[in-house]
Structure 1
Amino acid sequence: MNETVHSLPAKTALTARKTRTPTRAASPATLPAASVAPSRTNDPARTMAGILEVATTEFAEKGLSGARIDEIAAATKTSKRMIYYYFGSKEGLYLAVLEESYRRMRNIEAKLNLDDLPPEDALRRLVGFTFDHHHGNQAYIRLVMSENMERGSYLAQSKIIQELNVPAIGAIDKLYARGVVQGVFRPGLDTIDIHASISALTFFNVSNQHTFGLIFKGDTRSEQALAARRDSIIEMIVRFMRTP
């Protein structure tokens, strides 16, 4: 959630229009010992992490088509050759960035200790975390928006994206089931739909902040406005799930 590639992949038709098939990134453990990597460090994992960090900003700001490997190489003080060595291609690096963004979010979610809280408190913590994560990691939102513009064609080729997101649904499954047993939540709800509702409300707050604020002339980005919006979203989800 890999084989080493030494050349750029050929174009293939993924959707009605042509896109490029991302080459799978090589992990340091799978790099062949006999290969001579154009490295400037004895720590490949650290080098790859640095490239991913800079590439995240580049792809988030400019999208796949607008991002430039030259700029990523310059910012990381590496070379295009090194980036292609580790990630195979621009598309391979883009996919690695998407996967890493999802991985980071799910890793933090796993540390929320929702099982230690009463069901409603656990739900409030999960929704609040999602709101805070999206607001504090707006590059993640832009990456997701960018991949939706690509109609999900690159993320669809990920071998680990399904595995990465299983824990998110599992956490909601558990807290919802506990809530139903205790009579706190009403039965008959779908946990994927609950996840979608949480995502939609917290995502919109970042994705549409500029246009929404401009159209309705509101200060949607002040600390007070954000706190009020956060509380409102939490309350909406809780009331939707709560037993009447």
Structure 2
Amino acid sequence: MNELVRTSPAHGPEPVTVPAPRRRVARDATAASAAERVRVNDPDRTMANILEVATSEFADKGLAGARIDEIAALTHTSKRMIYYYFGSKEGLYLAVLEEAYRRIRQIETSLRLEDMEPEAALRTLVGFTFDYQLGNPEFIRLVMNENMHRGEFIRRSATIQELNVPAINAVQAVYERGVAGGVFRSDMDPIDLHMSISALCFFNVSNSHTFSAIFKRSLDEPSALAQRRDSIIEMVVRFVRC
């Protein structure tokens, strides 16, 4: 609302309330209506937007700390709509976990490791794991939060179980080709190898702040990251070689 001043000879200036311009009100109503139509008519886009925002919220605050009201406000939706798509707060959290694992596994399948020599394939896989986890710290925080829940929600998800089968199969295929070619030692468990790769790359993100504070060494500088990446790749390859 705006105020204009009207002069009165007897009483001096008087404030006069003037309503907001009708054109602006109509424009705001039209924009709100258009946003609502997008949410109703494009559920895939709406769900993707909710998942993106919820990923940040759950990664930063955990399941207990994240608030559906905040997620609804940031996505310009409503609690009712979120519950319609995901059933509950726990349902949204599980959907976020599934999407996080789906994303990394989809990219892994595009590496075409089967077209490379075993050692080159292993180097590519380790380098990818390092780069992906470094570039997606929210994924690391989600995994850390889920470990706080002792894997309760991941155990509920058949989707996540299925998504990780190809990841282990890819490691196993590279390893077995290396063994058959006389390049890799023959006494290793592919799941243990996968665990070692994940652990080395995971630590670089999960413990970067504490490690830097204790040892007064920045892990964020490009040169330090490149050196650490090369070290991890070399450690894994030397461990697997004959």
Length-normalised TM-score, structure 2: 0.84
Compare CA radii of gyration and give the structure with the larger one: 2
The gaps in structure 1 that reach 5 residues or longer are 1-37
Question: Quick one: distance in 1 between partners of 2:174 and 2:39?
Answer: 48
Asked if structure 2 preserves the Cα contact closer than 8 Å seen for 1:109 and 1:168, the reply is yes
Letter in 2 for 1:69: I
Structure 1 segments (4+ residues) deviating >3 Å: none
Partner of 1:112: 111
Question: Quick one: distance in 2 between partners of 1:159 and 1:89?
Answer: 18
Question: Quick one: distance in 2 between partners of 1:39 and 1:227?
Answer: 43
Letter in 1 for 2:238: R
Length-normalised TM-score, structure 1: 0.83
Once the two structures are superposed, residues 175-216 of structure 1 have per-residue CA deviations (whole angstroms, 9 ceiling, x without a partner) of: 111100111101010000000000000000000000000000
Letter in 1 for 2:204: N
Question: Quick one: distance in 2 between partners of 1:194 and 1:52?
Answer: 31
Asked if structure 2 preserves the Cα contact closer than 8 Å seen for 1:101 and 1:140, the reply is yes
> Is residue 2:53 matched to residue 1:54?
yes
Partner of 1:162: 161
Letter in 2 for 1:91: E
Other structure's SS at 2:41 match: coil
Q: How does 1:183-202 map to 2 (within 5 A)?
A: 183-202=182-201
Asked if structure 2 preserves the Cα contact closer than 8 Å seen for 1:56 and 1:139, the reply is yes
Partner of 1:153: 152
Partner of 1:22: none
Deviation at 1:159, TM superposition (A): 2.0
Deviation at 1:154, TM superposition (A): 1.2
Asked if structure 2 preserves the Cα contact closer than 8 Å seen for 1:63 and 1:146, the reply is yes
Letter in 1 for 2:189: D
> Is residue 2:94 matched to residue 1:98?
no
Deviation at 1:43, TM superposition (A): 1.3
Other structure's SS at 1:151 match: coil
Question: Quick one: distance in 2 between partners of 1:69 and 1:108?
Answer: 30
Partner of 1:215: 214
Other structure's SS at 2:40 match: coil
Letter in 2 for 1:224: S
Question: Quick one: distance in 2 between partners of 1:159 and 1:84?
Answer: 21
Partner of 1:136: 135
Question: Quick one: distance in 2 between partners of 1:102 and 1:187?
Answer: 30
Deviation at 1:40, TM superposition (A): 3.0
Other structure's SS at 1:101 match: helix
Letter in 2 for 1:131: F
Once the two structures are superposed, residues 137-176 of structure 1 have per-residue CA deviations (whole angstroms, 9 ceiling, x without a partner) of: 0000000000000111111111211100001000011111
Partner of 2:231: 232
Q: How does 1:78-97 map to 2 (within 5 A)?
A: 78-97=77-96
Letter in 1 for 2:193: I
Counting matched residue pairs gives 206
Partner of 1:181: 180
Letter in 2 for 1:208: N
Deviation at 1:39, TM superposition (A): 7.9
Other structure's SS at 1:77 match: coil
- Calculate percent identity across the aligned residue pairs: 68
The gaps in structure 2 that reach 5 residues or longer are 1-36
CA RMSD of aligned residues (A): 1.1
Partner of 1:206: 205
Other structure's SS at 1:215 match: helix
Question: Quick one: distance in 1 between partners of 2:119 and 2:158?
Answer: 34
Question: Quick one: distance in 1 between partners of 2:208 and 2:39?
Answer: 41
Asked if structure 2 preserves the Cα contact closer than 8 Å seen for 1:39 and 1:82, the reply is no
Other structure's SS at 2:202 match: helix
Partner of 1:28: none
Question: Quick one: distance in 1 between partners of 2:70 and 2:223?
Answer: 37
